[in-house]
Amino acid sequence: MYRLFRKSILGMTAALALAVVAPAHAEPGPVEDLHYGEVLFYFYSEDYFSAIVHLLAADESQRLSRSETESQVLLGGLYLSYGLHDEADRIFHSVLDEAADPGVRDRAWFFLAKIWYQRGYLDEALAALDRIGNELPGEFEQERHMLGAQVLMRAGRYEEALARLQDWDDKSDWSEFARYNIGVALARSGRGDEAQDILGRVGRMRARNDEMLALRDKANLALGYMLLQQEQPGLAKEALQRVRLEGPFSNSALLGVGWADSAEGDFQRALVPWMELRDRSVAEPAVQESLLAIPYAMGKLDAGTQSARHYQFAIDAFSEEMGYLDVAIDRVRNGLLIEDLLAANEDDRRGWFWQLETLPDKREVRYLHHMLANHEFQEALKNYRDLEFLATNLSNWSESISAFEDMLATRREAYAERLPRIEEALDDVDIEAIDAARLELEGEVARVTDQRDVLGLADGGELRQWQELDAAARRLELLPDSPDVKALRDKQRILAGHLYWQLNHQYPARSWETRKSVRSLNRIVRQAMQRHHRVQAAREAVPQQLAEFEGRIAAISPRIDALRGRLAALLDAEQEHVEMLAVRELSLQQNRLQTYLVQARFALAAIYDRYAEVSP
């Protein structure tokens, strides 16, 4: 059952986010926001803490505009996995209530109900299930019925769970789990005949995998012990003998078979399964009970000597186990249990996805198998592990503060070294004068263009020629008329006309090149002015920036110290809680062993008294 449930819950947060925007069988599409893609990378890498950090940072900088809804649902699921239920509930209600598609809302509330159930918040899980309409896909509808019944049964509301399951007709593996739960609910409601029929069907089913084999064994075990309580040992034995000898429920089944035989008065046959249990681990409650049942049966068979010997064996075994339990409790109180459990399950997953899967080879662990599978203990261990991670993270940040301070000092020193050179370079350049010259040149080019002043675009040689020809014309005007002067005047006019024609002919090309050069000059000067202003702004801003960074570092350091103090207290409290759960379980086993030990000693003393009475 757990594996089926875990397969469906793995990736549940991503499914919630996708459910808001995609139909049930939609193909995956591209991620539109780069920063949301980065968040998903961390999420699918099972680095959930980094996913939260990057998601919050991207949201703070408003970089999730195209993935706002999906990112908020993902954040809600991640909050929920860390136990931040109020924040998660607020996000889910605000986002899911706005979803326009009923199918989207139904799928989202279904997944949210599963998360609440997994975390043990039963009222919230039922409330989420009640908000589901009629648009849930078929593959989820089956699981919805099962989930609702599980929530009600965990809450002790067996009649309501029974009513929810009885009308369900399904052929999948979920239906077998449902039938088992119906049978258990009927048995706990005092309707034994109906429970017998349903549990019997589950106990005889053809199992297709290990989970179905385990379910079949559980059904037969539940049915067998129910029939024993109803004083139907024959039927109880039939059910218990269907439990696999090497399965996880074999010890309880063997014990029950023995009690069924003894209830029929066949103590010789009862010894067969009990003697099988005698050679198994004494840490198992069924084995402990069998150690008392064996001499009890031998006493019924008038084998007093053998009965006394087995009572003594039980006394020795119980006493030895009591000593082991004392050592185990000491190890737990010294913090070694948590240390061993986490060392045997080292991975980077956080939140609900992490599961205690590997048990260390330590003596105290064998007494805690039942407790280690308990939801309360699993949640406490998850919380401790998450707190330990956060404490380590804050410790790393605390160490980084000194590095930030060194970086800041290096930047301040580098700025102090560069500032004189920067100021000297700025003083050497009169950017305002350069810009004024540019404006003057731009105005002159505009005048030349407007007036079509061909001489304004002449080069130095051409301008000198024009000036020389103009001077020659003025001198010739002062001379008296003569044939020679007339010839010189004609020559001057020809040369001046040729030069002017040449300048006028080349004017369009020269005008275009000049305007192009002016535009390029304007661009260069503007860039120079921008750089000049940026350098000036940087010169003025760097001291302020360094001061701001220094203030932020100074403010962060005490916050980190305060959080580390709070986390240390929370870690101690959570460790005490985990150890309390373990010590409570071990103490219960000690009390049970103490009771068995008293019973064994009393029975052995009674045997000795009987022998003393008959001895001469």
pLDDT at 183: 87
CA distances from 34 to 29, 31, 38, 67, 248 (A): 13, 7, 6, 10, 49
Q: Based on the number of CB atoms within 10 Å of its own CB, is 453 exposed (0-12), middle (13-18) or buried (19 or more)? A: middle
Angle at 497 between CA 493 and CA 502, to 5 degrees: 155
- pTM for the whole thing? 0.65
Residues 445-453: what's their mean pLDDT?
Answer: 79
pLDDT tens column, 203-213:
998 888 888 89
Q: Is the pLDDT of residue 290 over 80?
A: yes
Which of residues 89 and 270 earns the better pLDDT score? 270
Q: Which residue has the tokens 């702004």?
A: 537
Q: If phi over 0 gives left and psi between -120 and 50 gives alpha, with beta otherwise, what is residue 2?
A: alpha
pLDDT at residue 277, rounded to an integer: 94
Cα gap 136→104, rounded to integer Å: 9
pLDDT at 602 over 90: yes
Radius of gyration of the chain (CA): 45
| Buried-exposed string 69-83: b where 16+ CB fall within 10 A, e elsewhere | bbbbbbbbbbbbbbe
Region 451-462: what's the mean pLDDT?
79
Q: Whole-angstrom Cα distance, residue 468 to residue 463? A: 9
pLDDT at 96 over 90: no
Q: What is the pLDDT of residues 8-20, one digit of tens each?
A: 433 455 555 544 4
Angle between helices 68-81 and 102-119 (to 10 degrees): 20
The CB density around residue 612, as the number of other CB atoms within 10 Å, is 8
Instruction: Give the chain's mean pLDDT.
Output: 80
Mean pLDDT within 365-376? 71
Q: What is the pLDDT of residue 239?
A: 94
* Angle formed at CA 84 by CA 80 and CA 87, multiple of 5 degrees: 90
Q: Tokens 């003998």 sit at which residue?
A: 241
Q: Is a pLDDT exceeding 80 seen at residue 344?
A: no
**Burial environment of residue 285 by CB neighbours within 10 A (0 to 12, 13 to 18, 19 or more):** middle
Please compute the mean of the pLDDT values over residues 342-366 and round it to a whole number. 59
pLDDT at 312 over 80: yes
Amino acid in the structure at residue 417: E
Token output for 230 = 């109803």
Q: Which CATH architecture has domain 1-141?
A: Alpha Horseshoe (1.25)
- DSSP letter at 205? S
How far is the C-alpha of 231 from the C-alpha of 237, rounded, in Å? 11
